[in-house]
């Protein structure tokens, strides 16, 4: 516990600049062992954060994080990095708020500047009913101590002057849910920070290692897998690893991995697309989300506008994107800001999202002993990465689901107790 990598600071930068020495590696490329105490599948934010907290908070360090590609190559390197905690249900709010706490201190905790820009987050309401939902969220948020309130169109204009708040538009802006602590983060830096923090504890980050199967004994399903079974390890493209605990942190690929253990998931994989414009001088100070228009936008410090939308309607593992996404996006953005018609879309990309029926994750122990899931992160798992890692590490270390995730267990789908986050998570991410 408490091990630290060589420190980054302004002083260290100057020293390196003067001596022109090399910086040490942020993480190594270690030799794979034949067994680990814990194998985490997926080197995204969730897998790496889990590994970090296992080591940092619980002293469990004989851990491998395996990824078929490079770390952060999945959703963690493709998302639009919005963080916020103004969800709708008390379970959701408590959970995401803890994550926001961790983001607040992350730069110093991990000694890496994750460029957290706490610029405020606006969820626009274009209809009476949307406004009512915003009030609902604001009220729930306030009760849990979250800074969140409904503001009117004039105040919206102050927050984001480029928005058209005139009332004769097709989607007039009637008001917005304003959440000052929300903002954006440099997503890759978060991934690297956790990787660096885990690597110091000798956690093995095994890139370009694909999990091909999960070994389970004694289960009720075909091949001894499934409910009642017990995990013994994984088969990978670089050989077998035995391990009593295997964790599925593979987001968009979660079903494929879980089917290997014989544990079906309530998940469908849909692409979520995003796009960025050429840079322009900064004019949009906050994050703007419109549920009715299925769009959200923020401007990076580099001047690019970053856009996102809701998931593609057709489920697929293809990530080459669609043209209609950019067309609809542009149309909707221009409804909000007609004055930016001459900005150019530079690049579009797509990532896979593991969508659940209730827009909430599936976390914790499963009917297969030693096989845990941290999936169903859909379009909102980036902001949850830190708390998911923290609670999952606790769950692994103690053997029982951490309190904060008690609403998110897989059993809710057999018990019919879904979480009501759809309204707050569908576009807002």
Partner 1 sequence: MSNRLTAQPGEIIDRSTSLSFTWNGKAVTGHQGDTIASAIAASGVDVFGRSMKYHRKRGILTADHWDPNLFVQVGDEPNVRAGSRRLEAGMVVSTQNVWPSLEFDLGAANQLVGRFLSSGFYYKTFMRPKFLWPLYQKVLKKFAPGGRIHWETSTHDAYDKRYVHPDVLVAGGGPAGMGAALAAADNGASVLLVEQYGDLGGHLLWGDDAQRAQGADLAAACRAHANIEVLVDSTVTGRYDHNWISVMQRSHDIAPERLIKARAGVMVVAPGLVERPYVFAGNDTPGVILSGAARRLINLWAVKPGNRAVVMSANADGDAAVADLERVGVEVVAVLDARKGESIVSVEGKSRVSKVALSDGRTLNADLVVTATGWTAPTSLLNMAGDRPVYDATAARYFSNSLPSNILATGGITGDGSTAELEAHGRATGVLAANRALRRRHDRVAQTARSNDPAWDKPAEMADSRTPLNRVPHPECYRSTTHGMVDFSEDVSSKDLIQASKEGFDSIELMKRYTTVTMGPSQGKLETVNAAAVLAEANQVSMAEIGTTVWRPPFAPITLGALAGRIHEPVRRSALQDWHDAHGAAPLLAGQWVRPDHYGDPMGEADNVRNNVGLIDVTPLGKLDLRGPDVSKLLELVYVNKWSKLDIGRVRYGTMVAEDGVVSDDGVTGRLGEYHWLMTCTSSGAGAVWEMLEDWLQTYRPEWQVHVTAVTGGLTSINVAGPHSRTLLERIVEDVDLSADAFPYFSVRQGTVAGVSDCIIWRIGFTGELSYEVHVPSGHALHVWEELLAQGEDLGCRPFGVEAQRILRLEKGHYIVGQDTDGLSKAPTAGLGGLVKLDKPDTIGLPELKAAYERTDLPILVGVQTDDPEIVPEEAAQIVDGGSNTILGRITSSRMSPTLGRSVCLAQVDPSLAAAGSSITVLLADGRRVTATVQEHHAHVDPEGARQRV
Partner 2 sequence: MIVVPCPNCGPRNSGDLRNCGELVPRPDPSTASLVEWREYLYMRKNPADWVTETWYCRGGCRRYFTIERNTATNEIRGQEAS
User: Where does this chain bind ligand FAD (CB under 6 A)?
Assistant: 41-47, 66-69, 73-76, 78-82, 210-211, 249-253, 257, 272-274, 308, 351, 353, 377, 379-383, 429
Residue 230's binding partner among partner 1, ligand FAD, partner 2, none (Cβ under 5 to 8 angstroms by kind) is none
Q: Among residues 255, 360, 391, 401, which is the contact residue for partner 2, using CB under 8 A?
A: 255
**Smallest separation (angstroms) from partner 1 to the CB of 44:** 14
Q: For the chain, what is the largest distance between any 2 Cα atoms, rounded to a whole number of angstroms? A: 66
Structural element, H or E, at residue 285: none
Residue 389's binding partner among ligand FAD, partner 1, partner 2, none (Cβ under 5 to 8 angstroms by kind) is none
Identify each DSSP E strand in 32-143 by its residue range.
38-41, 63-66, 82-83, 121-125
Q: Which is nearer to ligand FAD, 82 or 134 (CB)?
A: 82
Please report how many Cα atoms fall inside a 13 Å half-sphere around the Cα of residue 79, on the Cβ side: 32
Residue 259's binding partner among partner 2, partner 1, ligand FAD, none (Cβ under 5 to 8 angstroms by kind) is partner 2
Geometric angle at alpha carbon 249, from 246 and 254, rounded to 5° = 100
List the structure tokens of 334: 């221009």
Place of tokens 């999945």: 74
Cα 143 to chain centroid distance, Å, stands at 25
- Residues 6+ positions from 70 with CB-CB distance below 8 Å: 43, 207, 208
**Smallest separation (angstroms) from ligand FAD to the CB of 325:** 10
Touching partner 2, residues 400-419 (CB under 8 A) = 413-414, 416
**Smallest separation (angstroms) from partner 2 to the CB of 142:** 32
Q: Among residues 267, 275, 393, 396, which is the contact residue for partner 2, using CB under 8 A?
A: 267
Residue 66's binding partner among partner 2, partner 1, ligand FAD, none (Cβ under 5 to 8 angstroms by kind) is ligand FAD
Touching partner 2, residues 117-156 (CB under 8 A) = none
Measured CA distances, 152 to 135, 170, 419 (Å): 12, 18, 29
Q: Which is nearer to partner 1, 24 or 399 (CB)?
A: 24
List the structure tokens of 340: 């930016």
Binding-residue total with partner 2 (CB under 8 A): 23
Give the sign of the dihedral formed by CA 76, CA 78, CA 84, CA 88: negative
Q: Among residues 28, 324, 346, 398, which is the contact residue for partner 2, using CB under 8 A?
A: 324
Q: Which is nearer to partner 1, 117 or 159 (CB)?
A: 117
The Cα–Cα gap between 296 and 129 comes to 19
Of 214, 191, 201, nearest to 41 (Cα)? 214
**Smallest separation (angstroms) from ligand FAD to the CB of 77:** 7
List the structure tokens of 212: 């091909």
Q: Among residues 30, 90, 317, 339, which is the contact residue for partner 2, using CB under 8 A?
A: 317
Chain residues that interact with partner 2, rule: CB under 8 A: 253, 255-256, 259, 264-269, 313-318, 322-324, 357, 413-414, 416
């Amino acid at each position: 516990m408490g091990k630290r990598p060589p420190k980054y600071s302004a002083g260290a930068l100057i020293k390196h600049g003067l001596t022109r020495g090399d910086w040490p590696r942020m993480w190594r490329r270690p030799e794979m062992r034949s067994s680990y105490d814990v194998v985490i599948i997926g080197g995204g934010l969730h897998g790496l954060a889990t590994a970090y907290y296992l080591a940092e908070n619980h002293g469990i360090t004989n851990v491998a994080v395996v990824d078929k590609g490079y770390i952060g190559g999945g959703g963690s390197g493709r998302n639009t990095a919005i963080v916020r905690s103004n969800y709708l249900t008390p379970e959701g709010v408590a959970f995401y708020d803890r994550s926001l706490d961790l983001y607040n201190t992350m730069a110093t905790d991990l000694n890496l500047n994750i460029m957290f820009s706490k610029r405020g987050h606006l969820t626009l309401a274009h209809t009476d009913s949307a406004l009512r939902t915003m009030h609902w969220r604001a009220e729930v948020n306030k009760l849990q101590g979250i800074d969140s309130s409904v503001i009117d169109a004039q105040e919206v204009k102050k927050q984001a002057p480029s928005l058209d708040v005139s009332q004769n538009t097709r989607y007039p802006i009637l008001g917005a849910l304003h959440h000052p602590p929300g903002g954006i983060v440099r997503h890759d830096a978060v991934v690297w920070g956790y990787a660096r923090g885990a690597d110091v504890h000798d956690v093995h980050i095994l890139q370009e290692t694909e999990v091909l199967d999960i070994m389970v004994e004694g289960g009720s399903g075909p091949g001894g897998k499934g409910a009642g079974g017990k995990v013994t390890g994984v088969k990978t493209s670089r050989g077998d690893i035995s391990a009593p605990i295997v964790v599925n942190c593979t987001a968009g690929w979660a079903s494929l991995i879980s089917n290997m253990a014989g544990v079906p998931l309530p998940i469908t994989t849909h692409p979520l697309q995003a796009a960025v414009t050429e840079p322009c001088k900064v004019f949009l100070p906050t994050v703007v989300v419109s549920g009715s228009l299925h769009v959200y936008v923020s401007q990076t410090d580099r001047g690019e506008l970053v856009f996102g939308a809701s998931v593609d309607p057709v489920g697929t593992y293809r990530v080459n994107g669609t043209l209609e996404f950019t067309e609809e996006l542009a149309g909707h953005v221009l409804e909000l800001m007609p004055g930016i018609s001459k900005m150019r879309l530079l690049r579009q990309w797509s990532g896979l999202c593991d969508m659940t029926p209730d827009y909430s994750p599936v976390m914790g122990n499963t009917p297969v002993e030693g096989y845990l899931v941290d999936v169903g992160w859909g379009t909102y798992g980036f902001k949850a990465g830190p708390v998911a890692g923290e609670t999952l590490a606790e769950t692994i270390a103690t053997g029982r689901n951490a309190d904060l995730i008690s609403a998110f267990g897989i059993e809710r789908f057999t018990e019919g107790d879904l979480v009501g986050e759809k309204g707050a998570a569908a576009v807002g991410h």
